[in-house]
Amino acid sequence: MMPQWTPYLVGLPLLGFLLSGLLGLLWPRYRRWEIGIGVLAVSVVALAFLLALGLFVGLPQEELPLRVVLYQWIASGDFAAPIAFRLDTLSLWMTLIVTGVGALIHLYSIGYMRGDAGYWRYFAYLNLFIAAMLLLVLADNLLLLFLGWEGVGLCSYLLIGHWYADREKAFAARKAFVVNRIGDFAFLIGLLWLFREVGSLDLGVVLDRAGAIESTALGAIGMLLFLGATGKSAQIPLYVWLPDAMAGPTPVSALIHAATMVTAGVYLLARLSPLYVLSPGVLGLIALIGALTALLAATMALVQTDIKKVLAYSTISQLGLMFLGAGVGAFSAAIFHVFTHAFSKALLFLGAGSVIHALEGEQDIRRMGGLSRHMPLTYCTFLLGALALAGLPPLAGFFSKDMMLTAALGSGHEVLWFLGLVSSLLTTLYMGRLLVLVFHGAPRAPAVSRAHEAPAVMRLPLVGLAVGAVAAGWIGWPDLLGHGAWNWIGRWLSDSTADLEHGLSLGLEALSIALSVTVAVGGLWMAFRLWGRAGLEADHMLQRRLGGLYALWQSGYRVEAIYERLFVRPLLQGSAAPLRWSERYIAGGLIGLASRSAFFIGSGIRRLQTGLLSLYALVMLIGALGLLAWFLWRSL
């Protein structure tokens, strides 16, 4: 396969977007032709996946990285930004994840969105989402990467707000957008600074010259870019948008959580890992933030009652683990976790979508239960996904999680390692709780008895993803086995990432693995015991036992309220005050002054608002005075 085909990876989904968008916009009858729209959208992404697969198989690892230049985008003076793509082990791997999982989610959407008024719009945006994410992943230039970065943000806004007629959902979309913009802002500043230091934004140049950057500047750039990553990847302090982003259609949540959007932050860290390993302080902070996010989000996931919210907090927690991995220098392990997590989380979301679909929109797990009898396939796949996410060996999640945790232990971050372990335990608990409350026990709502399996077009992706959730981890066995000989993924990715090597004694590694396995098995056993027996009562019992702590978890550590009080309200009031002032002053002055200054032109014409006019002239004069004073001061 020729590397010249690379632009089509981005081009195909973009073409899908343009076709669906234009046809839907200009030809109303096309909007109702659901089969055509769906097939078009799925086939472009599937084709992109096949193309990526071809590149993956056809290009020997030795030939990477490759640079494929499409054309010169900006060339002004000494600055040039070509539209160029970078093919290396990292970008190729991410492309496979995005297109593979993305194609399955597209397929699922055909069934899920049936009958929706915005069917064509939905698929057009979905294709654009994939295109933007692929651009982000494949870009060889950080400016181009930023284009994809912004595009992903815009698409998430459009898709979360798909049902924009609902005020709350439109608000959730806007919240996601605004919070992301904060991160993007830091990201952009970081980029500008980087450009100032290096003189180029080409990845090759940036990574080559990273060592030449002065260390404080490097640290600051690293921090700014990291802040951008926390926005996209929903980490502390910018995670608040992700739970609300559940307002979108469920497949969109799956896409955001598994394949696109949130993985962008982890990808960015891995992509710039040669830069990050040079500033250990920033890396330490990343690890700390990751570990804290993992722990806090896991506790919040434990107390949610909305099936999608549990999964949302779970994603934040898993992303925290990935950041922990990246922070201790195990970038390839973090990407490996992106890979395994993509399968299990997409599976869980699509499974949840099936459940919601079957229960006619019900999302509250307190009104579910006993669904396993009515939806056996969904149950089986959901079970596999949950167990994989909980890190039960030999399912996929175990391998990647273990790789990150051993790296944390090996790098000497024992405390962070412990935090990671605790959040793993919590993961098993909330996954077990979710599984039991949704599928086991007695039905707690009449709708459950009417539930039925989804159509085949929705079942097929579940099976496909379940296979991945089971087997995806087998490409990265722990170093314990064959001294890394069986760790294929590590060898593949470390071509592109600058992993820190930690000499961890085999004994310690074995201990870590043993603890992980114990935690996984023990946690699941505990969860099944607790919720399997008592059902919802277990929640109440926990609430009684934990008291204030439980309430704190339920309120999400009051972060939303704190943000509201610290930022949102002062900002609103801050902007309201000048408005009120201008209203009072201008409108008040208008009436008072206009009545005092009689100034008629002709008959029957209302009084000219001379008060306002003189105010305008006054402001102008003050400005002029300031300008002149400045010039005078400068020339003296």
Partner 1 sequence: MDYYRIAFYLFGALTVLAAVVVVWSRNLIHAGMGLLLTLFGVAGLYALAAADFLAVVQILVYVGGIVILLLFGIMLTQRIAGRAPRTGVVNRTVGALIATGLFVLFVMVIFSARFAELPWIAQGRMIDRESAPPVGSTVERLGQLLVGPYLLLFEVAALVLTVALIGAAYLARRSRQEGARPRRMIS
Partner 2 sequence: MWLDTLALMPVLLLVVAGLLIIVLDSLDNDSPVLPWVALLGLLGALVLELNRLGGGGRFLFEGLLRVGGFSAYVNAVLLLGGIATVIFCRAYLPRIWHAHGEVYALVLFALVGMMVMAASYDLVLTFLGLETMSVALYVLTGLAREDVRANEAAMKYFLLGAFATGFVLYGLAFLYGTTGTTRLDLLPTRIPNTPLFWVGVGLLLVGFLFKIAAVPFHMWAPDAYQGAPTPIAGFMATASKAAAMSALLLLLGHGLGLVRPQWADVLAVVAALSMIVGNGAALMQGEVKRLLAYSGIAHVGYALVGIASASASGYAGALFYLLAYASAALGAFGVAALWEQRPDRQLPAEDLSGLGRRHPLLGALWVLFLLSLVGFPPLAGFMAKYAVFAAAVQAGKIWLVLIGVITSMISAYYYLRLCVLIWRPVEAHPLPSSGQLASGVLLLTSALLLWLGLWPSGVLELVGRFFEDSGLVLR
CB of 582 to partner 2, least distance (A): 9
- The site string for partner 1 over 541-580 (x = CB under 8 A, - otherwise) reads ----------------------------------------
CA distance 68 to 87: 8
Query: Which of partner 1, partner 2, none sits in contact with 207, Cβ below 5 to 8 A by type?
Result: none
Instruction: Estimate to the nearest angstrom the gap between the alpha carbon of 609 and the chain centroid.
Output: 53
Per CB under 8 A, the segment of 108-116, 142-150, 427-435, 590-598 that binds partner 2 is: 142-150
Query: Which of partner 1, partner 2, none sits in contact with 73, Cβ below 5 to 8 A by type?
Result: partner 2
Query: Which of partner 2, partner 1, none sits in contact with 596, Cβ below 5 to 8 A by type?
Result: partner 1
Instruction: For partner 2, give the closer residue by CB, 56 or 195.
Output: 195
Residues 6+ apart with CB under 8 A from 426: 295, 298, 299, 301, 302, 317, 523
CB of 221 to partner 2, least distance (A): 13
Instruction: For partner 1, give the closer residue by CB, 79 or 600.
Output: 600
Residues 6+ apart with CB under 8 A from 31: 24, 37, 119, 120
- The site string for partner 2 over 189-228 (x = CB under 8 A, - otherwise) reads x--x--xx--------------------------------
Which one of 482, 562, 628, 630 is in contact with partner 1 (CB under 8 A)? 628
CA distance 98 to 342: 9
- Is residue 627 close enough to count as binding partner 1 by CB under 8 A? no
- Is residue 76 close enough to count as binding partner 2 by CB under 8 A? yes
Query: Which of partner 2, partner 1, none sits in contact with 177, Cβ below 5 to 8 A by type?
Result: partner 2
Residues 6+ apart with CB under 8 A from 308: 246, 250, 253, 349, 352, 356, 363
Which one of 18, 189, 593, 608 is in contact with partner 1 (CB under 8 A)? 593
- Is residue 568 close enough to count as binding partner 2 by CB under 8 A? no
- Is residue 591 close enough to count as binding partner 1 by CB under 8 A? no
CA distances in angstroms from 258 to 250, 263, 316, 402, listed in the order given: 12, 7, 11, 19
Position 185: which residue type? F
CA distances in angstroms from 83 to 1, 70, 190, 191, 492, listed in the order given: 21, 5, 21, 17, 26
DSSP state of 116: -
Instruction: For partner 1, give the closer residue by CB, 570 or 623.
Output: 623
How many other β-carbons are positioned within 10 Å of the β-carbon of residue 361? 8
Token pair, residue 276, equals 């990050």
Q: Is the peptide bond before 376 cis (omega within 30 degrees of 0)?
A: no
Per the listing, tokens 């009120």 go with: 580
Per CB under 8 A, the segment of 146-154, 212-220, 547-555, 594-602 that binds partner 1 is: 594-602
> Are 7 and 85 contacting, i.e. CB atoms less than 8 angstroms apart?
yes
Which one of 177, 331, 336, 417 is in contact with partner 2 (CB under 8 A)? 177
Which one of 56, 185, 486, 557 is in contact with partner 2 (CB under 8 A)? 185
DSSP state of 454: P
CA distance 476 to 467: 16
Which one of 446, 544, 598, 634 is in contact with partner 1 (CB under 8 A)? 598
Q: Three-state SS for 87?
A: strand
Which one of 77, 503, 507, 548 is in contact with partner 2 (CB under 8 A)? 77
CB of 615 to partner 1, least distance (A): 7
Query: Which of partner 1, partner 2, none sits in contact with 165, Cβ below 5 to 8 A by type?
Result: partner 2
CA distance 620 to 152: 43
DSSP state of 453: P
DSSP state of 71: E
Number of residues that bind partner 1 (CB under 8 A): 21
CA distance 6 to 480: 37
Query: Which of partner 2, partner 1, none sits in contact with 597, Cβ below 5 to 8 A by type?
Result: partner 1
Instruction: For partner 2, give the closer residue by CB, 488 or 585.
Output: 585
- Is residue 605 close enough to count as binding partner 1 by CB under 8 A? no
Per CB under 8 A, the segment of 245-253, 341-349, 428-436, 601-609 that binds partner 1 is: 601-609
Position 363: which residue type? Q
- Our CA angle for 286, 413, 262, nearest 5°, is 30
Instruction: Estimate to the nearest angstrom the gap between the alpha carbon of 421 and the chain centroid.
Output: 23
Per the listing, tokens 């002062």 go with: 570
> Are 323 and 227 contacting, i.e. CB atoms less than 8 angstroms apart?
no
Number of residues that bind partner 2 (CB under 8 A): 59
Reference 361, options 324, 307, 319; nearest CA is 307
Per CB under 8 A, the segment of 154-162, 309-317, 321-329, 625-633 that binds partner 1 is: 625-633
CB of 166 to partner 2, least distance (A): 11
How many other β-carbons are positioned within 10 Å of the β-carbon of residue 81? 19
Token pair, residue 301, equals 């996931």
Q: Is the peptide bond before 7 cis (omega within 30 degrees of 0)?
A: no
CB of 156 to partner 2, least distance (A): 13
- Is residue 622 close enough to count as binding partner 1 by CB under 8 A? yes
CB of 72 to partner 2, least distance (A): 6
- Is residue 93 close enough to count as binding partner 2 by CB under 8 A? no
How many other β-carbons are positioned within 10 Å of the β-carbon of residue 503? 5
Reference 370, options 457, 435, 454, 427; nearest CA is 435
- Is residue 582 close enough to count as binding partner 1 by CB under 8 A? no
- Is residue 70 close enough to count as binding partner 2 by CB under 8 A? no
Q: Which positions touch partner 1 (CB under 8 A)?
A: 593, 596-603, 610-611, 614-615, 618, 621-622, 624-625, 628-629, 632
Q: Which positions touch partner 2 (CB under 8 A)?
A: 25-26, 71-77, 79, 143, 146-147, 150-151, 154, 157, 161, 164-165, 170, 174, 177-178, 181, 184-185, 188-189, 192, 195-196, 575, 578-579, 601, 605-606, 608-609, 612-613, 615-617, 619-620, 622-624, 626-628, 630-632, 634-636
